[in-house]
Amino acid sequence: MSDCIRFLAAAVLIAGVTPAMAQSTTVPTDSPVGLWKTIDEATKQPKALIRISDQGGALVGKIEKILVPNGADALCDQCTDQRKDKPIQGMTILSGLKKDGQEWTGGEILDPNNGKVYKAMAKLADGGRKLEVRGFVGVPTLGRTQSWLREN
């Protein structure tokens, strides 16, 4: 009888832990808030980790960590605004995106490699595991899309 009671106690304990574990690893499918990995289009290697947060209803993205060798000390020498010659790691590169249906629009994104600021929009894909970030000039058709991969 004591084996049966131990088995039932273990089953109840496991049943209680499993939903809690599932909750902690669930990928949010309705918000880009979180940590994202960018991939270098040329080398296909991880390039940086971007932390997106919600600040007053608008998304803001900062480079949390540069993943390429010798990148942690890089400065935005091509920037022409207040970010000129500032460290890229820790820099805000995405700002002003607001929810518009299934997309976030109306924002800006900085390309620290050339210092240019583009209009930006973003859309979640693959069940919230990818973020399609589009930078463009004028209209969205005149731009380029990157897929960022959710880290958490």
Which pLDDT band holds residue 70 (cuts at 50, 70, 90)?
Answer: confident
Q: If you write DSSP's letter for every residue of 79-107 in order, what string do you get?
A: --STTTT-BSTT-EEEEEEEEETTEEEEE
Which pLDDT band holds residue 152 (cuts at 50, 70, 90)?
Answer: confident
CATH architecture, range 27-150: Beta Barrel (2.40)
pTM of the shown model: 0.80
The residue among 26 and 37 whose pLDDT is bigger is: 37
pLDDT in tens, 124-135: 999 999 999 999
The single residue listed with the structure tokens 């040329």 is: 42
Residue ranges of the domains in the chain?
27-150
* Distances in whole angstroms, Cα of residue 116 to Cα of each of 21, 78, 110, 113, 125: 43, 8, 6, 8, 26
Query: Which residues fall within 8 angstroms of residue 86, CB to CB, at 6 or more apart?
Result: 75, 76, 79
Query: Which residues fall within 8 angstroms of residue 90, CB to CB, at 6 or more apart?
Result: 62, 63, 64
The single residue listed with the structure tokens 């499918």 is: 29
